[in-house]
Amino acid sequence: MTTPKKPPSQQAKTPGKKPPSIKGANKNIDAHREQTPGEFLTTNQGVRVGNDQNTLRAGTRGPALLEDFALREKITHFDHERIPERVVHARGAGAHGFFQVYESMAEYTSAQFLQDPATITPVFVRFSTVAGSRGSADTVRDVRGWATKFYTEEGNFDLVGNNIPIFFIQDAIKFPDLIHAVKPEPNNEIPQAASAHDTFWDFVWLTPESTHMIMWHLSDRALPRSFGMMDGFGVHTFRLINEAGVSRFVKFHWRPLLGTHSLVWDEAQKLAGKDSDYMRRDMWESIERGNYFEYEFAIQLIEEADEHRFPFDLLDATKIWPEEMVPLRRIGKMTLNRNPDNFFAETEQVAFHTGHVVRGIDFSNDPLLQGRLFSYLDTQLIRLGGPNFVEIPINQPLNQMHNNQRDGHMRQMVNLGKVSYGPNSLGGGRPHQAVPAQRGYASYPQRIDAPKLRERSPSFDDHFGQATLFWNSQSEPEQEHIVLAFRFELGKVESLQVRERVVDLFTNVDLELARKIAAGIGVADPATNGGVSGANQRLKQGWDTFGVTDRPGEKRQGLPAKAPELSMTSTPMGNVKGRKVAVLAADGVDGAMVTQMETALKRAGIVVELIAPHLGMVESSKGKALPVTKSLLTVASIMYDAVLVAGGQQSVATLKQSGDAVHFVSEAFKHCKAIAAVGEGVDLLLAAGCIGAPGAAEQDGAALAAQGILADRATKNAVAVAQQFVGLIGQHRFFARQKRDQMP
């Protein structure tokens, strides 16, 4: 058998000097990869097919014959091509990569993959939205799932987390209710992939523990710009256990090297229509271009003895550990550098499970985590058709599995011999248990001596303290976005009672916030409607009526007044690798300027696309042909991070006559993106209303630049403008411009 040359996406990429391991998942997949299509078409039984275009029939115009095995086999396989989609997190995109720890973590954990910076651990990551179906849009307001499978040499470790550090509920038993409330309403299956509807918000006011998560959910965190620009969190408290058996509590985090950045709501909604694959495409194209996504792996640790020293319970998944109280330590880096070869085989069939831990990592008693430990295997048994999904290449561990589990649907492994039990002597005692010295997994022997109860600890009942901390830690534009998000989401809720009670609930976070929400959704101002105590009386009455048992307690003392890391303004700025700039041009464009500026932008790692009224070529003012990347008809500014308008009298005159071109610029302005124009290009900014009266651009360059706009009529400055533009793009957005709300 000859090995075909691999396409670029399958070739191993090199991190620094060290080649990444292509063992493990990659090897499993390699072994199953289909060779270049064989010469002859065959049935699944290997019989060469003589005619694949016509059904076997009685005569050329007669009925089909049942004996046509080729037809029946082909259609039957097709009929079964779909498997049930994930009940949550159905919409996802995956990528392969590798992980390396910066220095040995032996002090804290015996996990093999965290011992030695030379160890390269292959990973597969699947990002997802939660609520939408498989075909739903990528940019909806939602939590993003972030599941990582580490193929370590001591087995698979799955960190099945989200891009938000907390969750809606404290106990897994409420998960089906949460999901039923947020998914489309069951009578009419509306709305798709959205939380702006009655059942969700009804659940929220009757589930006060969700308050903190709602603050995150309505912040820009729920609208990430890219899978490469979002934080990741393990959410639950886990344990790290070292070789001596010492256990510490740990929270896991991911931090993207590109910084944490978001879309704006108007943009996210429009993208859902113009490019519903926006985030999936962004990751795919970035990786193909070699702009790999990189994330630092970080941990927060709390000593066993300090378990009860914090104003939150470590087992409560609706709480963060503020970094001011428990510092974040960056311990390694993950690089995603290879796209899957086949979406179904890898991204769809991958099975993550919170219960997949390796030696040195263990669970806490978080009641949300405890329920998840049951749920994942259970759902996969039905989704992937039986217990042998572990044999699908993407799910196999790097080291071989050996046990006495046998049979079941679709068994691939051909076990030899007659021994399938243990202990055995007939099979030489194999496979035998591994004692600790042989690195067998051992659970942390936590002492538990307690009555059996269906009851939540009172230490879980501060439902508002951290929600207020989050609110107080946001910048002004972020707060504004949260208010608008509440107004949008609740604005779609038909039940006045639900809208009123949600406003009442959020008086407990901040009265001013609740007042601002109320003003936009036809609800009485809570300040003049009894204030916070009036709101709580109404809530109490409702909770009494509808059987809400887990009530909020007092806000606990001891949290910081603000936690800067909760604001996205604290993210490192300036990394522009992979950012996308649209250069607007038409025939007669200043070609030399385009080339010079493009070169300067590309040198900074920016992706530049030439957008013109038509595909093909534009002819520069000097008669040179410039290839057009996309036509104005197929793209919009929402697909780019920044817009550049090149000079050239005829080009700009054409663009000024094009509603699409003018809209392109004005929409980039509205979405607070960096915009630059050189030479006659400045006139398009004037036509779009991005800059003031003619001449203002030149007069007040510094003030404009502070708002993310460069407008320079001197063509000789093109390269300098491009360099300054790189700096602006690195700042992501210029929200001061939001004040100019009159932009249509």
Q: Please report, as ranges, the residues that interact with ligand HDE according to CB under 6 A.
A: 86-89, 92, 126, 128, 145-147, 160-162, 167, 172, 175, 235, 352, 368, 371-372, 375-376, 379-380
Q: Tokens 């495409």 — which residue?
A: 281
Q: Which is nearer to ligand HDE, 85 or 341 (CB)?
A: 85
What are 443's two structure tokens? 């659970």
**Residues 326/377, Cβ–Cβ less than 8 Å:** no
Q: Which residue is catalytic, options 26, 28, 89, 163?
A: 89
Q: Are strands 232-233 and 247-256 parallel, antiparallel or unpaired?
A: antiparallel
* In the complex, residue closest to ligand HDE by CB: 145
Write down the least CB distance from residue 172 to ligand HDE, Å: 3
Write down the least CB distance from residue 159 to ligand HDE, Å: 9
Q: Which is nearer to ligand HDE, 320 or 728 (CB)?
A: 320
Write down the least CB distance from residue 616 to ligand HDE, Å: 41
**Residues 300/267, Cβ–Cβ less than 8 Å:** no
Task: Report which DSSP code applies to 436.
Answer: G
Q: Which is nearer to ligand HDE, 160 or 710 (CB)?
A: 160
If DSSP codes are grouped into helix, strand and coil, which group holds residue 243? coil
* Cα–Cα distance for residue pair 680/423, rounded to 1 Å: 83
* Cα–Cα distance for residue pair 74/79, rounded to 1 Å: 9
64 contact partners, CB below 8 Å, separation of at least 6: 55, 56, 57, 71
Task: Report which DSSP code applies to 675.
Answer: E
What are 421's two structure tokens? 């039990």
Write down the least CB distance from residue 391 to ligand HDE, Å: 17
If DSSP codes are grouped into helix, strand and coil, which group holds residue 601? helix
Q: Which is nearer to ligand HDE, 128 or 507 (CB)?
A: 128
Write down the least CB distance from residue 129 to ligand HDE, Å: 10
Write down the least CB distance from residue 349 to ligand HDE, Å: 10
H or E stretch at 311: none
Task: Report which DSSP code applies to 208.
Answer: G
Q: Which residue is catalytic, options 28, 156, 162, 508?
A: 162
Q: Which is nearer to ligand HDE, 380 or 507 (CB)?
A: 380
Percentage helix, strand, coil, to 5, in the chain?
35, 15, 50
Write down the least CB distance from residue 368 to ligand HDE, Å: 4
Q: Which is nearer to ligand HDE, 175 or 284 (CB)?
A: 175
568 contact partners, CB below 8 Å, separation of at least 6: 220, 221, 260, 261, 262, 478
Measure CA 627 to chain center.
34
Q: Which is nearer to ligand HDE, 213 or 682 (CB)?
A: 213
Q: Is 51 a catalytic residue?
A: no
Altogether, the residues listed in the chain come to a count of: 744
Could you tell me the CA-to-CA distances from 33 to 36, 106, 131, 384, 394 in Å, in that order?
A: 9, 37, 32, 20, 12
* Cα–Cα distance for residue pair 300/316, rounded to 1 Å: 15
**Residues 223/194, Cβ–Cβ less than 8 Å:** no
* Cα–Cα distance for residue pair 576/573, rounded to 1 Å: 9
Q: Is 54 a catalytic residue?
A: no
Write down the least CB distance from residue 133 to ligand HDE, Å: 13
Q: Which is nearer to ligand HDE, 158 or 275 (CB)?
A: 158
What are 407's two structure tokens? 């049979």
For the annotated catalytic residues, the residue numbers are: 89, 162
